[in-house]
Amino acid sequence: MIEVERDSAFNVNSIGSEHRSFPLTFSVRAAGGSWLVDATAAQAGKLAGLLAGRAAGPVAVVDLHTCSFVDERSRSWSPSLIAAELGVDCAVHPVGEWASDTIGVGEEFLLLDREQLPRLLDGTWTPYQVALVDLPGEVTPERLDELALAVGTTAFDRPLLPHLDGSTLWFSGHDDCYLRVESTDPEVPGALLGRLLALLAGSALTDADDAVPVPVPEPDPALADRLIAAGPHWAGTVAAVSATEVTLALTALPRRWRLSDPAPAGAGHTMTLDLVRGRWRLAPEQPTAR
């Protein structure tokens, strides 16, 4: 069960001057012994519990910027100050000023137990950029320096985990909307798709005049796995909402969705949440991607 607020990523983010609703998009590929997922739209706080549950050990937050905590010059607080404000128990590893010009690497890393991640990304504030990786085993200053080098020198479209000994999970979120997840766990793509489907359905149930979160059940993992087995690229929009159901229209895409692409059209599949029974159903039951 996931709680969805009226300021969910699908409600807040829009496309173009016409402010069209942001679609659910999902793309997965295998590379370097990992599964790489590019998707929209989710706030980091809505994925924190899922990520913490899949991490194989302590988590290093390697990049963190926000407009929620700023100094007198409107600059984002350092990650350590943010963690202290939120009461998050963590260690701090200074990387150095060289990181200020390196995309994806902050001037300091936070090292925390994975159970602390939902406390850091608790949904009360908005990180417009956050990146993290799990680090099972002994974490030394030398290993963190090697992590900074790997993150700073690996191209965005290339897998990172093969360069990190023992790591199994990488997450990067941008603008409280776009996300990339890399994992060695084959169940993670389906779990992410299921979470996105629940968040999209929940966005249709929120009331602009009501601040009470809406609880939404996540689909059975088998339903998300069927979609992924049928095709790697998907887009989804809200098709219909009634007192008893929310129906999502799903479109199989020929390639990964980009912001410049037209809105998804011609959906051949639906995912429907039965609000009375708290269950999802997929139609057709065995989708065939084009």
Per residue in 199-253, pLDDT (tens digit) is 999 999 987 667 788 999 999 999 999 999 999 999 999 999 999 999 999 999 9
Residue 122 CA to residue 119 CA, distance in Å, equals 5
pTM: 0.92
Range in 54-58, 174-178, 284-288 the model is least confident about: 284-288
The pLDDT of residue 54 is above 80: yes
* Percent of the chain residues topping a pLDDT of 90: 67
Residues 140, 141, 143, 149, Cα dihedral to 10°: 170
C-beta separation of 77 from 70 below 8 A: yes
Residue type, 54: R
Any idea what the Cα angle at residue 82 is, between residues 112 and 1, rounded to 5°?
65
C-beta separation of 178 from 41 below 8 A: yes
C-beta separation of 252 from 268 below 8 A: yes
Residue 183 CA to residue 104 CA, distance in Å, equals 18
The string of DSSP letters for 7-47 reads T-HHHH-EETTTTEEPPEEEEEEEETTEEEEEEE---GGGT
Q: Enter the tokens of residue 98.
A: 């060289």
C-beta separation of 62 from 148 below 8 A: yes
The predicted pLDDT at position 153 comes to: 85
Q: What are phi and psi of 80, to 5 degrees?
A: -65, -35
Residues 6+ apart with CB under 8 A from 67: 76, 126, 128
Residue 78 CA to residue 73 CA, distance in Å, equals 13
SS3 state of residue 61:
strand
Q: What are phi and psi of 252, to 5 degrees?
A: -80, 130
The predicted pLDDT at position 21 comes to: 79
| Extended beta strands in 135-242, E state | 169-174, 178-183, 214-216, 233-241
pLDDT digits over 183-193, tens only? 999 999 999 99
Going by the DSSP 8-state scheme, the letter that residue 115 receives in this structure is G
The predicted pLDDT at position 102 comes to: 65
The predicted pLDDT at position 100 comes to: 57
Going by the DSSP 8-state scheme, the letter that residue 205 receives in this structure is H
The predicted pLDDT at position 63 comes to: 92
